[in-house]
Chain A
Amino acid sequence: MKNVIEVKKLNKKYKNLQAVQDLSFEVKEKEILGLLGPNGSGKTTTINCLLSLLNFDSGSINILGKEMTPDAYDIKSKIGVVFQDVAVFEELTVIENITYFCGLYIKDKKIRNRYVEEAIDLVGLNDFKDFYPKKLSGGLLRRLNIACGIAHKPSIIFLDEPTVAVDPQSRNNILEGIKKLNKEGATIIYTTHYMEEVEILCDRIIILDKGIIIASGTSKELKELTSIEEKVTIEIDDLKQEIIEEFKKLKNVENVSYDSKLLYITYKKGKDNLINLIEFMKTKKIKYNKFFSELPTLNDVFLELTGKELRD
């Protein structure tokens, strides 16, 4: 598959803060690429550089085979952006807002009106067409923000944290919509600091921290980077310190902690970890209420690579 975006050695400094450093990556046609990183990791900065909204210090950006510049209008006509901050006219209704922003791209009225209707359909704002933004809930407002960015049917779509502070219902609607746009042929660049979202949505993920790419690949590939096999949580009413020490001696156990009746055990890569654990508790006659195990998440990957949590 060919690359629709190629970024090479992108550097951007704000006064004395290096917001993005030597960033190189590409986006393949029709994929959903996730840019995952905590607050302030440089996601928005990267996108703004890509869109020529920001001057950068060095590096090159090619979109659709051409250098991206502020007056590359032919490239711009194929791009759609959903900004992190909601950007709509308060004086215009839902449908008027979408019509205006679509109109910056689509001159033909008939086609425009059809596109606007389709966008409204996509984000599920049919019942709110004539509402003013002030009357919309946070989630609906975000949906409007998305519709304004994608109504003109762009082939490349940037979405910058479109689900921040959104209720679960709207979030599902948004994620479904993005999948649909992708199925219809759009290439998507999606930034977020929610790892669950990139896991269900993205074909490929780039993890950013402090403006540097610390890892990239599919979710599966990334998880293989971690040394953790699984994490186990067991609810035990009363546990003596000496028994906790014994847990630590089990095979492949990396870490054990006990806090308010919950015992957390982290396992390194290895086989039969859970079978061994249950055997051990049977022989020690330890009574437990609940028992569950999880596979590593991207948060664990992030934790291991940077020594801190993805979300604070």
Chain B
Amino acid sequence: MIVFSNYLKILKQYTAFVVLYVVIFTIFSIIFTIYSNDNPTFAVQKPNIAIINNEDTKLVKSFLDYIKTTSNIVEMDSEDLKDALFYRKVDLILTFPPNFTNDFLNNDNPEINIQRVPDSSRSIYAIMYLNRYLNIASLYNSNNVTMDKLIEYIELDLKLETNIVFNNKNTTLLSSANYFYNFSSYSILAISVSVIGMMMSSFKLKTIQRRNMISPMSYSKQNNSLFLGNLLVTMGVWLLFTILGICFFRQAIFSANGVLFMINSLVFSITASSMGFFIGNVINNKEAISSIVNVVALGSSFICGAFVPQEILGESVLKIAKFFPTYWFVKGNNEIVILSKLSLDKMEPICINIIMTLLFALLFFMLNKIILKFRLKEN
């Protein structure tokens, strides 16, 4: 207990530091959020969509009409399509499954295959719009209506909202939340790594460590206390940003997407704290830690797309970014935002990104073990 309470005592000294970070972050987030709410610039640019479809039912037609209102439908040979995506002549390729209409009416959840330009905000918005139509369609479909009636309902529903289509509140809010969470990765990383790094460098200082080792308190007991302390920091940081997220985007957060944002940022917080643990163990000099944090947190956040969208960054930059957990966290957020109720089963890319982030935590954890072993052998 004494080790843990000592951890808290020392932790208290970093309160001002954390508060400062949070205040700065909050100000930036607010500015950012207001800015992105007022300027749905990405939304106005119509995405180019190519469609592969063999059906000519009323439902498909209605869906295509809907797509036309928000996007340019590009006619193209299926041969050229792959290249078109690569050269960004189209943002999306939609492939309707053979029996789409029938399956849809029978509630068989047919899956429209979507190929898209990775990390393009235009394609992201397009998918969000498509999901909107399908969400409404499936909503009315569950009441066992005829196709004509169904289309009528959908079109009525859409008409009621046409004005909002370009400025759909939830969509905008969700994409703001996306920015918020991407942006938060910098603060989470900077706070966790510096605080935990500093704490560890205090406790693992060779001279102090020796004093702890000769005491009658076992090494594992002491380490457990430190682990508990670090866990507390991690959860604290995460909670802080979750609360901020809830304050800013109440409606958007209490949804499947919101929960996923929270899970993703929790995983990222854990990774950040394991990184702090590692850095604190390797480096016992506090000045060095804070400069490393600045370089690593700021640099990685920049190249990983926490500040600017990933699609703006060059390919070679993103290649390097893959070596940082922030990249996978941000990518995860970008996937989460396009998830809709209808395609909840398309969790795979999100899971992959979360797992990648988690792998980094594991990596740092292992590195820690190796270093500690190495240190003990030194004697």
- A89 touching B211, Cβ below 8 Å: no
Q: Is A189 an interface residue (CB 8 A)?
A: no
Q: Which residues on A sit within 8 Å (CB–CB) of B211? A: 81, 83, 87, 101, 148-149
Q: Which residues on B sit within 8 Å (CB–CB) of A101? A: 211, 215
Partner of B218 from the list A73, A103, A149 (CB cut-off 8 Å) is: A73
- A91 touching B202, Cβ below 8 Å: yes
Question: What is the predominant secondary structure among interface residues of chain B facing chain A?
Answer: helix
How many positions in chain A have a CB within 8 Å of any CB in the partner chain? Answer: 30
Partner of B10 from the list A74, A87, A91 (CB cut-off 8 Å) is: A91
Q: Which residues on A sit within 8 Å (CB–CB) of B213? A: 53, 70
Within 8 A of B (CB), among A66-106: 70-71, 73-74, 76-77, 79, 81, 83, 85-92, 96, 100-101, 103-105
Partner of B208 from the list A55, A89, A103 (CB cut-off 8 Å) is: A89
Q: Which residues on B sit within 8 Å (CB–CB) of A81? A: 211, 214
Q: Is A54 an interface residue (CB 8 A)?
A: yes
- A90 touching B202, Cβ below 8 Å: yes
- A100 touching B6, Cβ below 8 Å: yes
- A83 touching B210, Cβ below 8 Å: yes
The answer for the CA separation of A70 and B213 in the assembled complex, in Å, is 8
Partner of A76 from the list B3, B9, B214 (CB cut-off 8 Å) is: B214
B12 nearest in chain A by CB position: A91
Q: Which residues on B sit within 8 Å (CB–CB) of A74? A: 216
Q: Is B160 an interface residue (CB 8 A)?
A: no
Q: Is A195 an interface residue (CB 8 A)?
A: no
- A104 touching B210, Cβ below 8 Å: no
Given A85-B207, A89-B10, A89-B202; A76-B215 close (CB under 8 Å)? yes
A51 nearest in chain B by CB position: B214
Within 8 A of A (CB), among B180-231: 202, 205, 207-208, 210-218
How many positions in chain B have a CB within 8 Å of any CB in the partner chain? Answer: 20
Partner of B216 from the list A76, A86, A100, A149 (CB cut-off 8 Å) is: A76
A264 nearest CB across to chain B (Å) = 43
- B214 touching A87, Cβ below 8 Å: no
B352 nearest CB across to chain A (Å) = 41
- A55 touching B379, Cβ below 8 Å: yes
Q: Is B2 an interface residue (CB 8 A)?
A: yes
Q: Mark A103-118 against chain B: 1 for CB-CB distance below 8 A, else 0.
A: 1110000000000000
Q: Which residues on B sit within 8 Å (CB–CB) of A88? A: 208
Q: Which residues on B sit within 8 Å (CB–CB) of A85? A: 207
Question: What is the predominant secondary structure among interface residues of chain A facing chain B?
Answer: loop
Given A92-B10, A103-B2, A104-B2; A53-B216 close (CB under 8 Å)? no
A112 nearest CB across to chain B (Å) = 9
Q: Which residues on A sit within 8 Å (CB–CB) of B10? A: 89, 91-92
Q: Is B13 an interface residue (CB 8 A)?
A: yes
A54 nearest in chain B by CB position: B379
Partner of A71 from the list B9, B218, B379 (CB cut-off 8 Å) is: B218
The answer for the CA separation of A89 and B3 in the assembled complex, in Å, is 12
B3, B208, B212, B214: which has the most chain A beta carbons within 10 Å?
B214
A74 nearest in chain B by CB position: B216
Q: Which residues on B sit within 8 Å (CB–CB) of A77? A: 216
- A100 touching B207, Cβ below 8 Å: no
Q: Which residues on A sit within 8 Å (CB–CB) of B208? A: 87-89
- B2 touching A83, Cβ below 8 Å: no
Q: Which residues on A sit within 8 Å (CB–CB) of B6? A: 89, 92, 100, 103
A38 nearest CB across to chain B (Å) = 23
Q: Which residues on A sit within 8 Å (CB–CB) of B218? A: 71, 73
Partner of A105 from the list B3, B13, B215 (CB cut-off 8 Å) is: B215
- A91 touching B13, Cβ below 8 Å: yes
B332 nearest CB across to chain A (Å) = 36
Q: Which residues on B sit within 8 Å (CB–CB) of A96? A: 9
- B215 touching A83, Cβ below 8 Å: no
A47 nearest CB across to chain B (Å) = 10
A93 nearest in chain B by CB position: B9
The answer for the CA separation of A92 and B215 in the assembled complex, in Å, is 19
Q: Which residues on B sit within 8 Å (CB–CB) of A90? A: 202
Q: Which residues on B sit within 8 Å (CB–CB) of A71? A: 218
The answer for the CA separation of A91 and B211 in the assembled complex, in Å, is 16
Interface residues of chain A, those whose CB is within 8 Å of chain B, are 51-55, 70-71, 73-74, 76-77, 79, 81, 83, 85-92, 96, 100-101, 103-105, 148-149
| Known A51-B214, A87-B207, A96-B9; further 6 A-B contacts with Cβ < 8 A | A55-B379, A77-B216, A86-B207, A88-B208, A89-B202, A148-B211
10 examples of A-B residue contacts, CB within 8 angstroms: A54-B379, A76-B214, A83-B211, A91-B9, A96-B9, A104-B2, A104-B3, A104-B216, A148-B211, A149-B211
Minimum-distance CB pairs A-B, first 7: A87-B207, A103-B2, A104-B215, A77-B216, A73-B216, A91-B10, A76-B216
